[in-house]
């Protein structure tokens, strides 16, 4: 890959500055990486944070773009938040399993950003902290350049405005799509021109940012897990109705209510999940608490059992 120097924010060319791109597996960051590389600009690592609950189409896109990056010799890595202290809980490893464990919803549903910080930003920062080129750069007082795929649309402009003025002793940030004045349409065009399919908007399928049509496009196993997570959290919810927080004119605050009214799952199936699954999960957690950590079943084990059970129920109906 040709490597050319580029001006840092301060305007100085710094050819020793390691460059890392955050690839969120969605439209913007995919287009950003394609164009950045095609301009012959330096790119040392691409990091993707996997929350374990991305949309199924996003997981289908992942190997496709990994192949594209590998073919061009671009080092790319999947990073994850790895919980270590489980106390008496069954071990959990994804944002969904974390929420089910604690009977809560992602913080995005409470209008906070800590889920993104915990499951996306922190694992990337941790990876860079252990990366020898970054360590060497920091030792000599330099910074690592992080490329962020905010586009030039009004929504991303707001996110960009919030990030302005951010100072970091270890990182410089660049927003190439904004420098090129690219909106989502331009990003889609660039990806198509590369001969790649355009990825769907990436987010957890349990994210408050999911649109109704995106929820409607989910497979049944995702819809059931949405019903489950809302049912499990329901007793502890005070000021929010569900994953979407509160109702608007176009949708309810609860994704379960939307799934029910849109007929995406049978009412009997939804009721069976609400009535049975949270109780069964609490029982599972109580039993697991008695088992030493090394032998303790995981939340994944319970979810597999849940998926198999509801599948069986649906087939019998
Ligand atoms: S996609 Fe949504 S739910 Fe997932 S980490 Fe980001 S803000 Fe949280």
Q: Domain residue spans in the chain?
A: 19-193, 212-311
Instruction: Tell me which residue has tokens 């959290």.
Output: 233
Instruction: Provide the pLDDT for residue 168.
Output: 84
Q: Distance from first CA to last CA of the chain, Å, rounded?
A: 57
- 30, exposed or middle or buried, with CB in 10 Å at 0-12, 13-18, 19+? buried
Task: Please provide the DSSP assignment of 94-106 as one string.
Answer: SHHHHHHHHT---
Q: Give the pLDDT confidence of 172-221 residue by residue, as tens digits.
A: 999 999 999 999 999 999 999 999 999 999 999 999 999 999 999 999 99
Q: Give the pLDDT confidence of 126-156 residue by residue, as tens digits.
A: 999 999 999 999 999 999 999 999 988 877 7
Cα of 207 to ligand 1 centre, how many Å?
5
Q: In the structure, which protein residues have their CB atom closer than 6 angstroms to any atom of ligand 1?
A: 51, 95, 106, 108, 115-116, 119-120, 203-204, 207, 209
Nearest ligand 1 atom to alpha carbon 113: 7
For residue 177, the SS3 value is: helix
Please enumerate in sequence order all residues whose Cβ is within 8 A of that of 196, keeping only pairs 6 or more positions apart, or say none: 30, 34, 64, 65, 68
Nearest ligand 1 atom to alpha carbon 203: 1
CATH for 19-193?
Answer: 3.40.50.620
């Amino acid at each position: 890959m040709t490597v050319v120097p580029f001006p840092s924010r301060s305007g100085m060319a710094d050819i020793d500055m390691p460059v890392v791109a955050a690839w969120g597996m969605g439209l913007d960051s995919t287009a950003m990486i394609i164009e950045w590389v095609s301009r012959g600009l330096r790119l040392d690592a691409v990091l993707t944070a996997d929350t374990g609950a991305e949309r199924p189409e996003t997981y289908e896109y992942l190997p496709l773009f990994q192949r594209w990056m590998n073919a061009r010799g671009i080092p790319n890595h999947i990073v994850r938040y790895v919980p270590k202290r489980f106390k008496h809980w069954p071990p959990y490893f994804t944002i969904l399993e974390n929420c089910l464990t604690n009977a809560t919803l992602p913080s995005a549903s409470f209008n906070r950003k800590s889920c993104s910080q915990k499951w996306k930003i922190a694992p990337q920062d941790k990876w860079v902290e252990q990366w020898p080129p970054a360590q060497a750069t920091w030792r000599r007082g330099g910074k690592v350049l992080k490329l962020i795929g905010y586009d030039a649309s009004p929504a991303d402009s707001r996110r960009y405005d919030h990030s302005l003025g951010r100072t970091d002793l270890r990182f410089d940030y660049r927003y190439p799509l904004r420098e090129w004045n690219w909106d989502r349409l331009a990003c889609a065009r660039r990806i198509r021109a590369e001969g790649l399919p355009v990825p769907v908007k990436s987010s957890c399928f349990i994210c408050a940012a999911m649109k109704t049509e995106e929820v409607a496009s989910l497979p049944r196993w995702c819809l059931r897990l949405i019903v489950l997570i809302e049912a499990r959290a329901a007793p502890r919810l005070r000021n929010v109705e569900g994953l979407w927080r509160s109702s608007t004119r176009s949708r309810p605050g609860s994704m379960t209510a939307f799934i029910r009214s849109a007929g995406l799952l049978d009412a009997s199936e939804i009721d069976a999940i609400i009535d049975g699954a949270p109780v069964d999960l609490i029982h599972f957690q109580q039993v697991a608490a008695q088992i030493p950590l090394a032998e303790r079943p995981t939340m994944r084990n319970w979810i597999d059992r849940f998926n198999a059970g509801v599948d069986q129920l649906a087939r019998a109906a």
